[in-house]
Structures are given as C-alpha cells and as structure tokens.
Amino acid sequence: MIETYDAIVLGAGAAGLFCAATAGQRGKRVLLLDHADQPGKKILISGGGRCNFTNMHTAPDRYLSSNAHFAKSALSRYTPADFLELVEAYGIAWHEKTLGQLFCDGSAKQIVAMLLEECAKGGVAVHCGDALGEIAHGDGLFRAAFGGRVASAPALVIATGGPSIPKMGATGAAYDLARQFGLKVVQPRPALVPLTLAGDEALFRDLSGVSTEVIARCGKAAFREAALFTHRGLSGPAILQISSYWQRGQTVTTQFLPDRAEGWLREAKRERPRTSLRKVLGEGLPERLVDVLCARLGLSGELGALSDKALAAAEATLARWPFVPDGSEGFAKAEVTAGGIDTGGLSSKTMEARKVPGLYVIGEAADVTGWLGGYNFQWAWASARAAGLAI
Ligand SMILES: Cc1cc2nc3c(=O)[nH]c(=O)nc-3n(C[C@H](O)[C@H](O)[C@H](O)COP(=O)(O)OP(=O)(O)OC[C@H]3O[C@@H](n4cnc5c(N)ncnc54)[C@H](O)[C@@H]3O)c2cc1C
C-alpha cells in the first residue's frame, strides 16, 4: 500500500526539520525521512555542542555561490531575528560569543528538541533509521521507498545536505537526486576546512597547538581572526574562513601582528636599538612562533645592528607571510561543502526546481555556503522556510 502525503522531505537535518515543521504547521501532511538513527546529528555536534544557531550580521555577501544573488530573497524573508524569536519562545537561553555569533548557553540538544516539537505541532511524520530506496517520479507524484514502505506526494524536498563529515551520516545523495532529475551540480568541494602544508612549509607543523591572531588573505577575501598551527598545517577560524575561497595552487597569506602600522620595526629600532628582534616580535606573538619566524627571516640580534632595509623587508614579509597549502583535510574534516546543486535551476523565492514542479532543494545541498559563525544554519532556516511556505 502506498502512503500518501502532501510533501516528502528527505533529510532530517537543520533544513529538513524546519521545512517539514513550516509546511506541517500550514496544514500540509508531511513525511520526513532520514537514514541516520536520529534527526539533527550535525546540529548536535555544531558549535562545540552549543550550536551557533545564527549570526546577527547575516547578509548575502557572507555566502559563496556561483550565483551571488540567489540567497538574497530567502535570507531577507527569514532573518536571524525571526529564528531568535523562535528560540526565545522556547525559553532557550543564548549568548553572543563574538562577531554576531549566537550560541545556546546550554546545549545544541535544545535546538533539536525545539525543531522536533515544531514538527510535532505540524503533525509531521518523522521516520529515521532506514536507508532510502528508489525515488521515482511520474504523473505529478514523487514516490519514495524506505524501510519496506512506499510513500507518495506531489512535493519532494531534497534536504540531505552535503558530503562533509561522512561519519555523521553525510552523503552525496543530494547530487545523485539532482542528476536523476536533470539538475546541474556545481563541483562540490570541502570548505571551512583546515589546510595542509608540505615540503618546505612542513616546518610550521612543529608549531602544532600554537595560535595567534592574523589577517588571512586569499584573492580578494580577508578574515581577521585566530590562526592555529596543527600537526598537518593550518587551522583556526581565520584559516577555516579563507579555506572556502582557496583553490589548489593558490597562496594564502597571513598578516602577523595585524595592528602594527607600517614602519613599526624601524621605529622600534630608533626607540630601542639594544632590543633584539626576537624580543620585539615576542611582545605580540607566541615564543615558539617567533623562533620559527626569525629563523625564516634570517635575522637575529639587536635591532640597532639591522639595516632599515632588512627591517622594512621583514615588516613586509610579516604582513604578507605566504603559505602555499598542498591541500586540505578534505570532506572528513570540512564543516561544510561548497558547491552543490546549481541554484541557476531553482527559484530563489521558493527553492523549487524550475524544470521539475514540486521538487525543492534547501540547505547545504544547494550551492550556497556561508562563512563560519552561524551563517550556514541561518541559510538552512531561511531556505527551509521559503520552501515550507511554498509547498
Ligand atoms: C562539526 C560541525 C560543526 C558545525 N557547526 C556549525 C555552527 O555552529 N553553526 C552553523 O551555522 N553551521 C555549523 N555547521 C554547518 C551546519 O551543520 C550545516 O551547514 C547544516 O547542518 C546544513 O543543514 P542541512 O539540513 O542542509 O544538512 P544536514 O544538517 O547535514 O542534514 C542532512 C540530513 O540528511 C541526512 N541524509 C544524508 N544522506 C542521506 C541519505 N542518502 N538518505 C537519507 N538521509 C540522508 C543526514 O543524515 C542528515 O540528517 C557545522 C558543521 C559541522 C560538520
């Protein structure tokens, strides 16, 4: 027997849960399917277990996509303030950590519980723990097989996310479905991911655990936050952010001591000629990093003994320290996937596929990738809302 619904949502992650709840509360009969044993697994591990559920500075320019304008409509119609209102209605305590990033005071479990409660209010049928079988389409209906059952509905929502962190149940299912329905896929790649160093630069790996504030740059993108040296290369928020813009072969530069004005080393020489370069750098950088930087700069001794030319060159190098990563730590460690289902084939108002009426794509499955700091969840909520209101 085929079970009938108004909509089948594939993937009970952030976007799928919110979309199902939105449609359900509008009176739609919704089936929400996930192959994982429980819904919202990535939400549970997000933000170090506290879920950075939105960012108050959300704006379209904080998202990467082949179509820079696509996210505008959905983001403007469901804002961080809207999601915060929901969080507060559930009495979930929250705080702003930094840079507009809102986290739960308690646990990410509260966000999952809230979303499940919202689904329950909408009478959503949630089914987890069975692999998806064949997804078929004909006569205006989508059919989904799962756990020995078959359901059909005039609307199908792809909310299966991207392949980052496969051990959490992430797959490339969205792209297989996209191809099945004739939608294009923008080459997926790991984003918000640590970068690896090899060869000459492997030396920096010895600094594993050392962290300092930098401005990381790649192309036109620049992020001022902490960088962390790891046993494989570079991580920390500044590097994760810049990794989303990095392409293989490109140089990433880090500006050490970003508050120092041009000429600062030469000025220090005039003011304190007997002070060593090592000491001056150590006033703003961790000691182990200073050792490596001094060795690389090939400078040592008192500032007074160093020429202005050498100090100017050192300033310039410290302001644009070049790293050429040999790769990234890949989907296994990537917080998100950049690329995905091409937004060119979707309505920015409803997330519906232009050529396949009734088919919707939301969340990370689509080619919209946010910066680190709550932007990806805000896209999940906003795109889910847009589809949930349109179904
Ligand atoms: C460690 C980590 C921390 C993060 N922290 C934050 C944060 O604090 N703030 C932030 O904004 N973003 C964060 N992110 C990113 C954020 O989790 C994602 O962008 C967001 O979850 C995307 O929502 P989604 O619903 O599109 O996909 P997901 O939440 O990934 O949900 C997809 C769902 O589809 C299911 N699924 C996949 N394949 C299949 C299949 N074949 N059959 C059936 N079901 C399937 C999965 O089991 C999953 O439940 C973090 C990511 C990671 C990995």
DSSP sequence for 212-225: EEEEEEETTEEEEE
Q: What are phi and psi of 223, to 5 degrees?
A: -135, 130
**pLDDT confidence band for 67 (50 / 70 / 90):** very high
pLDDT at 209: 97
How is 120-185 classified by DSSP, letter by letter? HHTT-EEEESS-EEEEEEETTEEEEEETTEEEEESEEEE----SSSGGGT--SHHHHHHHHTT--E
**Cα separations (Å) of 67 from 172, 188, 371?**
21, 15, 16
pLDDT in tens, 218-277: 999 999 999 999 999 999 999 999 999 999 999 999 999 999 999 999 999 999 999 999
- The tokens for 232 are 């494989």
The yes-or-no verdict on residue 39 having pLDDT over 90 is yes
On whether the CB atoms of residues 314 and 265 are closer than 8 A, the answer is yes
Q: What is the pLDDT of residue 249?
A: 95
Give the pLDDT confidence score for residue 168 in this predicted structure: 86
Euclidean distance between CA atoms 381 and 136, whole angstroms: 27
Phi, psi of 379, rounded to the nearest 5 degrees: -65, -40
pTM, full prediction = 0.97
Q: What is the mean pLDDT of residues 357-374?
A: 98
Q: Which percentage of the chain shows pLDDT scores above 90?
A: 97
User: Please, where are the H alpha helices in the chain?
Assistant: 14-25, 41-45, 72-77, 80-89, 109-121, 173-180, 237-243, 264-271, 277-282, 287-297, 308-319, 375-390
**Residue 202: what pLDDT?**
87
Q: Is any atom of ligand 1 closer than 6 Å to the C-beta of 334?
A: no
* Alpha carbon 244 to chain centroid, angstroms: 8
Q: Which helix (H) or strand (E) holds 229?
A: strand 221-229
Predicted local distance difference test score (pLDDT) of residue 138: 96
Q: Closest ligand 1 atom, CA of 364?
A: 26
Measured between alpha carbons, how far is 285 from 321 in angstroms, rounded to an integer? 14
Total H helices, total E strands in the chain:
12, 23
Q: Alpha carbon 72 to chain centroid distance?
A: 17
pLDDT confidence band for 152 (50 / 70 / 90): very high
Whether 132 is in the pocket of ligand 1, judged by its Cβ within 6 Å, is yes
Residue 380 Cβ < 6 Å to ligand 1: yes
Distance 324 CA to ligand 1 centre (A): 30
Helix, strand or coil for residue 89? helix
8 A C-beta contact, residue 241 and residue 371: yes
Q: Is the pLDDT of residue 169 over 90?
A: no
Tell me the best of 32, 107, 376 to mutate to test the pocket of ligand 1, counting ligand atoms within 8 Å of each CB and taking the most. Answer: 376
Give residue 115 CA to ligand 1 midpoint distance, Å.
Answer: 14
Residue ID of nearest Cα to ligand 1 atom 11? 374
User: What is the pLDDT confidence band of residue 147, given thresholds at 50, 70 and 90?
Assistant: very high
55, 94, 160, 193: which to mutate for ligand 1, most atoms within 8 A of CB? 160
Q: Which residue has the tokens 């889910």?
A: 384
Q: Is 305 helix (H, G, I), strand (E, B) or coil?
A: helix
Residue 106: the pLDDT is: 98
User: Is the Cβ–Cβ distance between 242 and 223 less than 8 Å?
Assistant: yes
Whether the pLDDT of residue 200 is over 90: the answer is no
Q: Residue 161 CA: which ligand 1 atom is closest? A: 27
Residue 22: which of 312, 373, 384 has the closest Cα?
A: 384
Mean pLDDT computed over 27-37: 98
Q: What is the pLDDT of residue 266?
A: 97
Question: Which residues have C-beta within 8 Å of that of residue 140, sequence separation ≥ 6?
Answer: 154, 357, 358
Ligand 1 centroid – CA 253 distance (Å): 30
Task: State both tokens at 272.
Answer: 């304190």
Q: What's residue 239's pLDDT?
A: 98
3-state helix, strand, coil in the chain (%, to 5): 35, 25, 35
The rounded Cα 53 to chain-centroid distance in angstroms is 12
The pLDDT tens digits for 276-305 are 999 999 999 999 999 999 999 999 899 999
Taking the centre of ligand 1 as the mean of its atom positions, its distance from the CA of residue 41, in whole angstroms, is 7
